[in-house]
Amino acid sequence: MNSIKFLYAAYIATWLIHGFYLGTLLRRYSRLRQQKKELGK
């Protein structure tokens, strides 16, 4: 049945959204660590 594609789409979309958010967190984290290092110098 074609509808199984929607099942995969939903699960993939869920993890794409979470992954995207975690990615932004990582980016902010590394940028902040860089800034902190510069301040501490």
Partner 1 sequence: MKRAFPILAILTALLLAYAFYEAMWVAPMERTMGDVQRIFYYHVPSAWTAFLLFFVNLIASVIYLIRRNAKADAIAVVSAEVGVVFCTVVLVTGPIWARPVWGIWWTWDIRLTTTLVLWLIYVSYLVLRRFSDSSQTPKLAAVLAIFGALDVPLVYFSIWFFRTQHPQPVIGGGGSIDPRMLHVLLLNWLAFSCFALLVCWARYRLELLEREVEDAQSLESLVGDNRLGVKRPGEHSLPLKTNLPLDKNTSRTGTQ
32 binds partner 1 (CB under 8 A): yes
Q: Which two tokens stand for residue 13?
A: 């979309």
H helices present in 1-41, as ranges: 4-40
Site for partner 1 in 1-30 (CB under 8 A): 1-4, 6-7, 9-11, 13-14, 17-18, 21-22, 25, 28-29
Kindly list the residues in this chain that would bind partner 1 in the complex (CB under 8 A): 1-4, 6-7, 9-11, 13-14, 17-18, 21-22, 25, 28-29, 32-33, 35-36, 39, 41
